[in-house]
């Protein structure tokens, strides 16, 4: 998550070409060729500690709710409270008597209502669930992030403040549009009984939340879920990091988490980005007006309420699933599924890997090539220094996804304690890189029935002064696409136009990022309608493009992916998420490079077609970036500039 705070434009242009030099590791043939069977490597020793299988009991959830209700009564603010487990199963939703069920999303700075801006629905319970999922999904045994932390890292300037205009955007800019209700990866609630009912990771009704009032929950140092509180109707974000808010929702959530609070040593306010400590909570114990011992019976304060698609109140309070078990949907891989003993995979609850390694559905990559790519990326991760974990010099932990040119998943593996949010995001990144690099991206966007979506194609072609943009002539990473998705270009530079995939700055807020949000606007709004009683839920595919499977869980616009090539032919994409964005870039880029060295068949795009060869005619000319890798990233090694020349 290393961000360039105060870089001069000239220095930005020098760094922009990281990864752009040297020869490609691809072979010269453009036709699919069978990959040689890789020589088996010696079985590596395990390097990671596996999280203990802790979980929330019914009594735990009851206590969390009672503590939150007691504080809400003391604050004189009736609220909705939601509790989820680590993989997003909703264990309870409690609505206090008198709660205002309105959920109002802020409009843009100039009053704009693009995308989710200005949404006003009686859906406060959806906001509470999204906040709880945010706390659970962004956290691990090495980092505890809240929805306030999320607010800090997704805005147009980092850190967000009136005093920081001119600085780059947040390191996870755009992550709020992940875990979407239309995602084909995220599992759906099927009732509180039956096989596979608790398989995760589950979707969120509103993606990840930037509205304070969501915290992770821990037992014995192990993240076991999240608590979310909604009651003031304003589903917003905090644009000013230099003051301290008195936010009753956050205070109530803090009270609810008593006994299940994140360890102090791993909270966001112990983790710095470019020398700036992140924010975990503006609420403190001094703000509490209740005592945990004073928590009374829930029945006197309100009732459990059903939330369509997420929770059935007739089943009562539920116990959470222990992460790492078959029933949770995420578990350790078997030797037959993946060679590294540290690997975890997604499972179907009956022993089957949901995304086993396989050959591309387009005939372009073999299963052996996918295996080698995932193995090499996993090795890079295992040697890399984490950027958002405590203690310092921990190993990076991420999720790695590989897709073919159809967007079909060819394999997903992850470290034991990687944050859950990175599962969906790594797949978004892999698909985005493959989609933007394809020959048909422009045609598919132009065919979208929403003229707002289609309008981004002529915008990018005009901006780049390239009438053939998005037709496969250049290889795009998420970092390159992200450059074009910022409300200032170059990122943060006041007085410059917005990137062609973004909204103008006077229309921008985190609920409307541009093409990313426009692609999923209709699906998210339709799903909210379903939650509130509409006739049908959205399908397992977010955008309304010709081939929605190619980006079926939405696109992502912060770094951590590269497209995969065989010579000059695009054959897929690899995405990485869960640690710092530069680490994510490095693991995808070097993982693919090393797989190419190992096999001699697939590899990174030739430097001549990488997006960092594009000079945007803004000012004296600004070069896009391809990947940015950490300067000295490996544990036990002094190797520097590890991506240079590759």
Which two three-digit tokens encode residue 495?
């007085």
Spatial distance between the Cα atoms of 328 and 311, rounded to a whole number of angstroms: 17
For residues 256 and 68, the answer to whether their CB atoms sit within 8 Å is yes
pLDDT value, residue 17: 37
Residue from 536, 526, 533 nearest 308 by CA: 533
Q: What pLDDT sits at residue 474? A: 98
Enumerate residues 6+ apart whose C-beta is below 8 A from 76: none
CATH 3.30.450.150 domain locations along the chain: 19-43+332-623, 58-71+82-99+117-323
Whether the pLDDT of residue 36 is over 80: the answer is: no
CA dihedral over 325, 329, 335, 339, signed as positive or negative: negative
The Cα-based distances of 50 to 244, 379, 384 in angstroms read: 37, 17, 18
pLDDT-derived band of residue 43, with 50, 70 and 90 as boundaries? low
| 596-640 pLDDT, tens digit each | 999 999 999 999 999 999 999 998 899 999 999 999 999 999 999
Q: Give 561's strand partners.
A: 575
- The yes-or-no verdict on residue 283 having pLDDT over 90 is yes
**Banded model confidence at residue 41, pLDDT cuts 50, 70, 90:** low
Residue bearing tokens 């990144």: 429
The answer to whether the CB of 599 falls within 8 A of the CB of 369 is yes
Other Cβ atoms less than 10 A from the Cβ of 192: the count is 17
Three-class secondary structure of residue 610 per DSSP: strand
Tell whether the model's pLDDT for residue 72 goes beyond 60: yes
- Looking at residue 82, what DSSP letter applies? E
| pTM of the predicted model as reported, rounded to 2 decimal places | 0.93
Dihedral sign for Cα atoms in the order 216, 222, 225, 227: negative
For the segment 484-538, what is each residue's pLDDT rounded down to a tens digit?
A: 999 999 999 999 999 999 999 999 999 999 999 999 999 999 999 999 999 999 9
Q: What is the C-alpha to C-alpha distance for residues 92 and 353, in angstroms, rounded to an integer?
A: 28
Q: Is the pLDDT at 309 greater than 90, yes or no?
A: yes
**What's the pLDDT band for 547 if we cut at 50, 70, 90?**
confident
Instruction: Please check the confidence at residue 186 and state whether its pLDDT lies above 90.
Output: yes
* pLDDT value of position 195: 67
Q: Which two tokens stand for residue 621?
A: 């000319």
DSSP summary character for residue 335? T
The whole-chain average pLDDT of the chain stands at 92
Predicted confidence at residue 371, as pLDDT, reads 98
- Mean pLDDT throughout 565-592? 97
Q: What is the number of other CB atoms lying within 10 angstroms of the CB of residue 561?
A: 38
Give mean pLDDT, residues 271-278: 92
DSSP label at 603? B
Strand positions, DSSP E, 118-254: 120-121, 214-219, 222-230
Q: Which residues pair with 572 in a beta bridge?
A: 564
Q: How many residues does the chain have?
A: 646
State the Cα–Cα distance between residues 256 and 260, nearest whole angstrom. 8
Tokens, residue 261: 């609070």
- Phi and psi (nearest 5°) for 442? -60, -45
Higher local confidence (pLDDT), 191 or 387: 387
Q: Which helix (H) or strand (E) holds 331?
A: strand 330-332
Specify the pLDDT at position 281: 98
Is residue 527 a contact partner of residue 538, using CB atoms and an 8 Å limit?
Answer: yes
State the pLDDT at residue 543: 84
Supply the pLDDT for residue 11. Answer: 31
Q: Which residues contact 404 (CB under 8 A, 6 or more apart)?
A: 360, 361, 362, 364, 365, 410, 434, 571, 572
pLDDT for the residue numbered 475 = 98
Rounded CA gap, 584 and 370, in Å?
18
Among candidate residues 415, 423, 398, 387, the one with its CA nearest the CA of residue 634: 387
105 touches 117 (CB < 8 A):
yes
- Residue 4: how many CB atoms within 10 A of its CB? 15
Separation between Cα atoms, residue 224 and residue 576, nearest integer Å: 23
Q: What is the mean pLDDT of residues 434-442?
A: 97
> What's the confidence (pLDDT) of residue 377?
98
The strand pairing partners of 95, in sequence order, are 80, 303
Please give the pLDDT value at position 292. Answer: 84
Topology of the domain comprising 58-71+82-99+117-323: Beta-Lactamase (3.30.450)
Mean pLDDT of 318-341: 97
Residue 39 has pLDDT above 70, yes or no: no
Other CB atoms within 10 A of residue 7 CB: 17
Arithmetic mean of pLDDT, 197-204: 95
Cα separation, 78 vs 71, whole angstroms? 10
pLDDT at 566: 98
Helix axes 58-75, 248-256, angle to 10 degrees: 150
> Distance between CA 189 and CA 525 in Å, rounded?
19
CATH topology for the 19-43+332-623 domain: Beta-Lactamase (3.30.450)
């Amino acid at each position: 998550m290393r961000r360039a705070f105060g870089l001069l434009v000239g220095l930005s242009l020098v760094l922009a070409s990281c990864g752009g030099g040297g020869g490609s590791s691809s072979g010269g043939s453009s036709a699919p060729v069978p990959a040689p069977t890789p020589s088996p490597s010696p079985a590596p020793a395990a390097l990671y500690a596996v999280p203990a299988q802790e979980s929330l009991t019914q009594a735990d959830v009851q206590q969390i709710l009672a503590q939150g209700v007691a504080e809400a009564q003391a604050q004189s603010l009736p609220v909705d409270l939601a509790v989820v487990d680590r993989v997003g199963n909703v264990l309870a939703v409690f609505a206090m008597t008198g709660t205002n069920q309105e959920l109002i999303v802020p409009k843009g700075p100039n009053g704009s209502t693009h995308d989710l801006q200005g949404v006003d629905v009686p859906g406060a319970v959806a906001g509470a669930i999204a906040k709880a999922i945010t706390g659970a999904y962004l956290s691990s045994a090495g980092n505890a992030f809240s929805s306030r932390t999320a607010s800090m890292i997704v805005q147009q300037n980092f850190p967000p403040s009136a005093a920081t205009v001119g600085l780059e955007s947040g390191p996870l800019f755009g992550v709020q549009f992940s875990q979407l209700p239309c995602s084909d990866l995220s599992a759906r609630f099927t009732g509180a009984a039956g096989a596979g009912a608790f398989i995760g990771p589950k979707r969120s009704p509103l993606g990840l939340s930037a509205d304070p009032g969501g915290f992770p929950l821990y037992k014995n140092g192990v993240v076991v879920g999240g608590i979310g509180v909604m009651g003031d109707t304003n589903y917003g974000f905090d644009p000013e990091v230099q003051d301290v808010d008195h936010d009753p929702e956050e205070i109530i959530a803090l009270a609810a988490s008593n006994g299940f609070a994140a360890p102090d040593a791993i909270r966001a306010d112990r983790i710095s980005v470019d020398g700036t400590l992140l924010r975990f909570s503006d609420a403190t114990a001094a703000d509490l007006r209740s005592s945990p011992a004073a928590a009374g019976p829930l029945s006197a304060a309100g009732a459990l309420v059903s939330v369509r698609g997420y929770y059935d109140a007739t089943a009562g309070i539920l116990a959470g699933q222990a992460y790492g078990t078959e029933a949770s949907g995420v578990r350790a891989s078997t030797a037959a599924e993946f060679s590294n003993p540290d690997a975890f995979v997604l499972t179907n609850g009956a022993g089957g890997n949901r995304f086993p390694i396989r050959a591309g559905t387009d005939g372009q990559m073999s299963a052996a090539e996918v295996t080698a790519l995932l193995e090499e990326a996993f090795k890079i991760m295992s040697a890399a220094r984490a950027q958002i974990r405590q203690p310092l010099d921990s190993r990076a932990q991420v999720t790695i996804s590989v897709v073919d040119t159809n967007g079909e998943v060819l394999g997903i593996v992850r470290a034991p304690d990687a944050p859950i949010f990175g599962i969906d995001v790594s797949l978004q990144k892999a698909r985005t890189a493959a989609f933007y690099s394809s020959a048909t991206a422009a045609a598919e966007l132009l065919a979208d029935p929403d003229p707002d979506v289609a309008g981004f194609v002529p915008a990018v072609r005009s901006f780049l002064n390239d009438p053939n943009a998005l037709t496969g002539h250049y290889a795009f990473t998420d970092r390159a696409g992200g450059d074009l998705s910022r409300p200032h270009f170059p990122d943060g530079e006041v007085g410059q136009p917005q990137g062609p995939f973004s909204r103008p700055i006077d229309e921008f807020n985190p609920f409307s990022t541009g093409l990313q949000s426009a692609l999923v606007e209709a699906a998210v709004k339709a799903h909210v309608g379903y939650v509130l009683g509409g006739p049908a839920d959205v399908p397992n595919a977010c955008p309304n493009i010709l081939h929605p499977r190619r980006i079926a869980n939405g696109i992502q616009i912060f770094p951590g992916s590269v497209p995969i090539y065989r010579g000059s032919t695009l054959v897929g994409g690899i995405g990485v998420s869960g640690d710092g964005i530069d680490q994510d870039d490095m693991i995808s880029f070097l993982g693919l490079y090393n797989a190419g060295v190992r096999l001699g068949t697939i590899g990174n795009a030739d430097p001549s077609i990488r997006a960092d060869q594009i000079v945007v005619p803004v000012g004296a000319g600004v070069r896009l970036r391809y990947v940015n890798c950490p300067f000295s990233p490996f544990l036990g090694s002094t190797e520097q500039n590890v991506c240079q020349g590759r």
